[in-house]
Amino acid sequence: MISIILIAPPAAGKGTQSDLLVEKYGFVHISTGDMLREVAKHDEIIREKLNSGNLIDDDVVFSLLKERLLADDCKRGFILDGFPRTVNQAIRYDEMIDELGITSNVVIFLDVDREIALKRIVGRVSCPNCHRVYNDMIEEVMPKVSGKCDDCGSLLVKRSDDNSETFGKRYDEYLKSTAPLIDYYLGKGILNKIDSGLGKDEVFEVIKNIVGDLND
C-alpha cells in the first residue's frame, strides 16, 4: 500500500495531479475536509465547530482517517489531500502508518512561484454547465472566445473568492502553518520537490517517475 502526501501552496495544481494519479493508478483520493463534512451531517458537535471555523481535535481526525485507510479500496494506495497540516500531525501520522503496516510513504512538494499562483487564482473562470476551467491570464488555457465555454458555449463565471486579497491570506496561512512540513519531510529524506510552474502533463511525468517504481 502506498501513501502519497501532497504539499502545495494555493493554485499549485494539487487537485489536478490528484485526479491524474487516481486515473492512472487507481489510488483513492482522501480529503480530510470532505470526511469531516460528511460526519458533520449527523454529528452536531463537529457540525458546529466546522460552521464556526474552529479546528477539529486531532483525535477525531485521526480516528476517522484510520477507519478510512482500513477500507478495501485503499489497499492499492491513497492520496492525502489537506493532511497533515502541521508537523505534530505529521509525526503522529508516521506512527499511525507504522501501526497499519504501510511501508511506502511518498511526499511530493508542488512548488510554484507566488506570481504564477496568483495568476492561476485571479484569472480563473469556469463553465457553470460542464464545469470546464479556463484562465483569462494564462494563454494556454484561455477560452477561444472570451467569456464563453469552448465546449458548450455557456457564459463563464468567476468565483467571488478568486481575488488577490483572498489569495494573499491563503498564501500567508500556507507559509505559516504548512511550509514547516517541508523541512520535516526533507529531514526524513522522503521529500520530492517538483516545479509546479510547468504544465500539468510535465509535472505528472515527474510524479509518475517517483511513484511508478513503488507501484510495480
Residue 84: in which H helix or E strand, if any? Answer: none
Distance, in Å, from the CA atom of 117 to the CA atom of 27, rounded to the nearest integer, reads 26
Q: Is 107 left (phi over 0), alpha (psi -120 to 50) or beta?
A: beta
Query: How is residue 60 written as a grid cell?
Result: 477525531
Could you give the maximum distance between any two Cα atoms of the chain, in Å?
54
Identified catalytic residue from 92, 148, 170, 193? 170
Cα atoms in the 13 Å half-sphere on the side-chain side of 26: 7
Give phi and psi for 86, each to the nearest 5.
-135, 165
Q: Could you confirm whether 47 is annotated as catalytic?
A: no
d(CA 64, CA 61): 5
Between strands 104-111 and 2-7, the pairing is parallel
- Burial class of residue 129, CB neighbours in 10 A (0-12, 13-18, 19+): middle
Torsional sign, CA 96, 187, 84, 131? negative
Does the annotation mark 124 as catalytic?
A: yes
Among 37, 66, 159, 188, which one carries the catalytic annotation?
Answer: 159
170 is catalytic: yes
Residues serving a catalytic function are: 14, 85, 124, 159, 170
